[in-house]
Amino acid sequence: MPKLYIGNKNYSSWSMRPWVLLRQAGIDFEEVRVRFDSFDAGSEFKRAIGAVNPTGKVPVLVDGDLVVWDTLAIAEYVAETWPDKQLWPADRKARARARSICAEMHSGFTALRSHCPMNIEAHLPDTGALIWRDKSGVRADVQRLVDMWSALLQEHGGPMLFGQFTVADAYFAPVCMRLATYALPLPAHIAAYVDRVRALPGVKAWMDDALAEKDFLDFEEPYRLSAGG
């Protein structure tokens, strides 16, 4: 059984992607959670993950003697290892488009990721309103999401971006968390997609675990001095 090394579920958006992919697809795996204490070279987190992954980051998938790091590489390995799960669209052109938007997420949306870090436990609509007012990059990133998701949902008929659940939906699940936490303004049909993603059993299981952590980490909290906000 493969092992998936992850960080804190409340904060670790990159860990969330392969975890949700595996869970939603019904693939058995062992979760190894390595708590964030800091990201300094001498931290417990860095020592524990550095023993598995030379980059010292999560997530990491270990399958026998194979170690796969980087979320996109993990997604590709999972899709190839369990082809019956159909984790990429069957159509070649749709598959290429799904890979394109995952790669865009992998390297882009930097304003949204920077100013709206994932924090599932928090509810920060007032902060979100200020970010929306002051950060044009966030507004541009959200508009790109709206345009992208609208086109895909219209083309494939929903309920997910390519009809059924794929890697693409797992990849954008942490974005749905951000949009909800900061209550960023969305058209009704996009808000409905966010709600559908959040209701997926694999996503719901991650969220429930995140809420149960009760682990407030000040270096992951640019907007709060304590939990409960």
Q: Domain locations in the chain?
A: 3-85, 92-208
Structure tokens at 107: 């390297």
Q: Could you give the CA distance from residue 146 to residue 127 in angstroms, rounded to a whole number?
A: 21
The DSSP call for residue 48 is: H
Q: Tell whether the model's pLDDT for residue 167 goes beyond 70.
A: yes
Q: Tell whether the model's pLDDT for residue 212 goes beyond 80.
A: yes
Specify the pLDDT at position 36: 92
Q: Tell whether the model's pLDDT for residue 41 goes beyond 90.
A: no
Fold match, 3-85 / 92-208: no
Q: Which residues have a Cβ under 8 Å from the Cβ of 117 and sit 6 or more positions away?
A: 11, 13, 178, 220, 222
Reported confidence tier of residue 126, pLDDT bands at 50, 70, 90: very high
Within 13 Å, how many C-alpha atoms sit on residue 81's CB side?
17
Q: Which CATH class is domain 3-85?
A: alpha beta
DSSP 127-184: HHHHHHHH-HHHHHHHHHHHHHHHHHHHHH-SSBTBBB--HHHHHHHHHHHHHHHTT-
Q: Which CATH class is domain 92-208?
A: mainly alpha
Specify the pLDDT at position 229: 57
Reported confidence tier of residue 89, pLDDT bands at 50, 70, 90: very high
Q: Could you give the CA distance from residue 147 to residue 83 in angstroms, rounded to a whole number?
A: 30
Full-model pTM: 0.95
Q: Tell whether the model's pLDDT for residue 213 goes beyond 60.
A: yes
Specify the pLDDT at position 85: 98
Residues 184-209, mean pLDDT to the nearest whole number: 98
Residues 108-136, mean pLDDT to the nearest whole number: 98
